[in-house]
Structure formats: structure tokens, C-alpha cells
């Protein structure tokens, strides 16, 4: 090991940043043996210098301003773990790349928004932008697409990309409890933030899908083209209904190449109980890829947490230090094709529909008439219980359809929502035969 040591700096000493620092300090010999050179932690940045993070700060410089790390002469690689798609995180990455320093980040929102431009900057400066930890934590999903499957013609990428949502849905499945109750438990266990919107509304998964789609299909990241539906509307009725017909509900992120058009969505989806994705429970993540000549492959593992995310950060660090790091998008960033993403493009699928309606004669006839007028063939229909006698109560009605074009289904739902007897926003899910 004759190569000169490399000095690294870490911006952001939260759960992941502190774990990364501990690993660099406590397992320096092992990391050096993989990187082919010694890696030294020379500087850090965080809000509070005095907080105990489980490692000694002796000999490590502290910068209150994270951007200052990019200007230090004793820093060769910057690890950005601040978070946020703009602000200090972006300022730091831009300054580091401009200054000829490689960057490792776990910031999926920033990469989905600015990744292509930052990759061009990195390549122009002869340094690396690495972000394996930005998608699916400990699963090497980007490396799998970028390197292991590099020669494959990818047709479909799907995955369970948010551990919070997967914990909530799989716990609802095993306990019969409702969304709000399980969400509170997830917050108590640290799986969900105090404000869970980023996770349960599908935004986090969509940022990750934008990056997988870009690498898999060689296109510019296009977060805005992803059709996003979160899991707030999923109830125990839906969980039970799915199980009764042999399905589990998972928040799936899916991107498909349909005749040259990339169709991307994040939405609760019914997957067969026999499928690999249905068996992914708790806070685990999964990434499935279909292409030629591979056929299909699925990778499952921890998608978040200190250990899983730090593992991916350190893997990038080793690759950069060893001179093995590939371009972030698998090709020169200026070769990425303009995005042809269209989340709302037409496709054919079976659908699950749950309505909340007044319990009175003729309601089902009105609903099925609308479906008939839009050429939606109903496979099954079930009214769940009865309202209290003498009242004007509501009941849930669950329907499943045969294969139908999604534009017809969308038009039918729009009309059904306008019926006087329908009292709440319908819950709609695709019934997938894959997974």
C-alpha cells in the first residue's frame, strides 16, 4: 500500500454521519485494505461541536459552516450528509466539485433535482460524484443497474423504496390495525418522522425512483413526471380485501419502458401473496429489475438506518479512493437522453376500487352503470356490512375489475365521484400480476 493517504471530511453528524465517522476511525485498517490507501478523517461539520457522538474529536477539525470543508487544503473527499435539495448541502457539493474534490452523498432529493448538472461538473473537473446511499440504503441498487446489469436492455424497474411505508402496510396486514394507529407506532419506534408526509405521501420513494429510472434507462432524472399516490387512504378494509383475493398491498415504485416512453409511478399496489415483493415486510426495501438477457432479478435488504446507509456511504468512499468509481449515471452525464417520462400514459391493468356510499337502494346500480358506460368490466363486487337501520349511514363497497385501460378507469372514477351517494374520495389500486 504505497499510495498516499486520502483525507476526508463529513458534513452532517446525525445518525448516519456519526456512524460513518465511527466506522472510518474504528476500522481504518480494514477500510484501507479495501481502498488500497489510508483514509483519514480530518474535518467535520455539524450544528453542535460539543455533542457526544460516540467518537473522539481529537485531531479532527470542526467547521461550523459546512461549505468551509470544501475549501480546506487538508480535505480530498467530502461526504455530504446534511440533507435537503438546496441550501447548505447543494452549496457544499458545488464548492467541493468546483475545487476538484470528489463528493459522496446520501441525498436522493438533491440528486433527483440537481444530479445531472452536478455530474457534468464533476466530470469536467476530473472528480467523482457518488451516491449509492441515496437509494435503498444497504442494497447496492444503483451499482446493480450501473455495473452488474450494464449491458442489459432494461424494460422494468420496480421496488419497495420506503421502509416507513412498508412497515406501516405490513404491520396493518399482520395486526388488522388501521393506518393512523400503526403510523403512531412507527413514529414511536423511529421509523417515521414527526411529520411523516415525505414518506407516507410517496415523495421519498419518487425521488429514489427518479434516480433508478435515470440510470436504468439512460435518461435525465425527471421527478415531476412521476405519478405519485401515497398510502394515507389505505384502510384495514383494503388490507383484508386484498388478502381475501390472494394479494398484499405494498407501496410500489415502478418505471417501465413502453414503446420508448418511460412510464413511472409510485402508488399502493396489490401484489400476489406468492410474489417476492409481498414477502418483503417491516422496514425492508426491495429493488426488482427486468431486462434482457438477465430476465429478472430482485435484491432485498435494509433500506435505511445508520448501519445500512453508512455501509453504502463507505462503499462509495472505498470505490472513489481506489480509483474504481464509475460515473454516477453509468455514462457521461452529458450523454443522458432528454426524459421521455410520462406517468399518466395509457396502460392496461386490473383495478381495485373501494367506495364509501350511502346505504340505500339503487346505489350499486348507479355505480355499475357508470362503469358499464366506460367499458369497465367488473370482476367482483362486495358491499361490506350494512348501515344502522333507520339512519342515513354509509357503507364501504369494494369492486375489482378485469383488465381495462387506465384512461377509461380514470374517467369512470371521475364520474362516480360526482354521484350523490358517494360520500368520500374513492380508493383505487392496481392489481398487479407481477412481483
| Residue found by looking up cell 446507509 in the block | 309
Short-list 314, 377, 407, 236, CA closest to 33 = 314
- Kindly state the helix (H) or strand (E) to which residue 113 belongs, with its residue range: helix 108-125
User: How far from 334 is each of 91, 130, 134, CA to CA, in Å?
Assistant: 22, 17, 21
User: How far from 352 is each of 249, 368, 383, CA to CA, in Å?
Assistant: 11, 14, 14
* Spacing of C-alpha 107 from chain mean position: 12
Q: Are strands 404-405 and 348-358 parallel, antiparallel or unpaired?
A: antiparallel
Quick one: DSSP state of residue 70? Answer: G
For residues 31 and 22, give the distance between their C-alpha atoms in angstroms, rounded to a whole number: 12
For residues 61 and 5, give the distance between their C-alpha atoms in angstroms, rounded to a whole number: 17
Which residues contact residue 280 at a Cβ distance below 8 angstroms, ignoring those fewer than 6 apart? 160, 166, 170, 250, 286, 300
For residues 58 and 51, give the distance between their C-alpha atoms in angstroms, rounded to a whole number: 14
286: helix, coil or strand? strand
206: helix, coil or strand? helix
Q: Which residues are catalytic?
A: 208
Omega cis (within 30) before 293: yes
Residue 398 near residue 365 (C-beta atoms within 8 A): no
Residue 265 near residue 98 (C-beta atoms within 8 A): no
* Spacing of C-alpha 316 from chain mean position: 19
Amino acid at each position: 500500500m504505497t499510495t498516499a493517504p486520502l483525507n476526508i471530511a463529513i458534513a452532517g453528524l446525525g445518525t448516519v454521519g456519526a456512524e460513518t465517522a465511527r466506522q472510518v476511525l474504528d476500522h481504518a485498517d480494514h477500510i484501507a485494505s479495501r481502498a488500497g490507501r489510508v483514509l483519514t478523517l480530518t474535518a467535520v461539520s455539524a450544528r453542535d461541536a460539543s455533542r457526544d457522538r460516540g467518537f473522539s474529536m481529537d485531531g479532527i477539525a470542526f467547521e461550523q459552516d459546512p461549505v468551509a470543508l470544501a475549501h480546506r487544503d487538508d480535505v480530498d473527499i467530502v461526504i455530504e450528509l446534511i440533507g435537503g435539495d438546496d441550501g447548505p448541502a447543494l452549496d457544499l457539493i458545488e464548492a467541493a466539485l468546483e475545487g476538484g474534490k470528489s463528493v459522496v452523498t446520501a441525498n436522493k432529493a438533491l440528486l433527483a433535482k440537481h444530479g445531472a448538472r452536478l455530474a457534468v461538473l464533476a466530470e469536467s473537473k476530473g472528480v467523482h460524484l457518488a451516491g449509492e446511499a441515496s437509494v435503498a440504503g444497504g442494497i447496492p441498487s444503483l451499482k446493480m443497474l450501473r455495473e452488474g446489469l450494464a449491458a442489459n436492455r432494461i424494460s422494468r424497474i420496480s421496488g419497495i423504496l420506503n421502509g416507513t411505508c412498508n412497515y406501516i402496510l405490513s404491520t396493518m396486514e399482520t395486526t388488522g390495525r388501521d393506518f393512523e394507529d400503526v403510523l403512531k407506532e412507527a413514529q414511536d419506534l423511529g421509523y417515521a418522522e414527526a411529520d411523516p408526509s415525505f414518506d407516507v405521501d410517496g415523495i421519498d420513494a419518487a425521488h429514489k425512483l427518479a434516480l433508478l429510472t435515470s440510470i436504468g434507462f439512460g435518461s435525465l432524472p425527471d421527478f415531476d413526471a412521476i405519478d405519485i399516490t401515497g398510502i394515507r387512504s389505505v384502510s384495514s378494509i383494503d388490507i383484508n380485501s386484498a388478502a381475501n383475493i390472494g394479494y398484499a398491498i405494498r407501496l410500489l415504485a415502478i418505471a417501465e419502458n413502453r414503446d420508448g416512453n418511460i412510464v413511472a409511478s409510485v402508488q399502493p399496489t396489490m401484489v400476489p401473496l406468492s410474489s417476492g415483493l409481498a414477502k418483503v415486510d417491516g422496514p425492508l426495501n426491495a429493488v426488482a429489475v427486468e431486462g434482457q438477457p438477465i430476465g429478472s432479478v430482485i435484491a432485498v435488504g435494509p433500506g435505511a438506518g445508520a448501519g445500512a446507509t453508512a455501509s453504502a456511504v463507505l462503499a462509495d468512499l472505498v470505490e472513489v479512493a481506489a480509483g474504481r468509481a464509475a460515473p454516477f449515471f453509468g455514462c457521461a452525464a452529458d450523454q443522458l437522453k432528454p426524459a421521455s417520462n410520462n406517468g399518466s400514459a395509457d396502460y392496461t391493468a386490473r383495478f381495485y376500487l373501494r367506495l364509501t356510499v350511502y346505504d340505500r337502494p339503487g346505489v350499486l346500480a348507479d355505480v355499475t352503470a357508470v362503469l358499464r358506460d366506460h367499458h369497465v368490466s367488473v370482476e367482483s363486487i362486495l358491499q361490506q356490512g350494512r348501515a344502522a337501520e333507520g339512519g342515513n349511514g354509509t357503507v364501504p363497497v369494494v369492486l375489482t375489475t378485469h383488465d381495462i385501460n387506465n384512461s377509461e378507469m380514470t374517467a369512470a372514477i371521475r364520474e362516480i365521484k360526482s354521484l350523490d351517494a358517494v360520500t368520500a374520495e374513492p380508493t383505487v389500486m392496481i392489481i398487479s400480476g407481477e412481483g
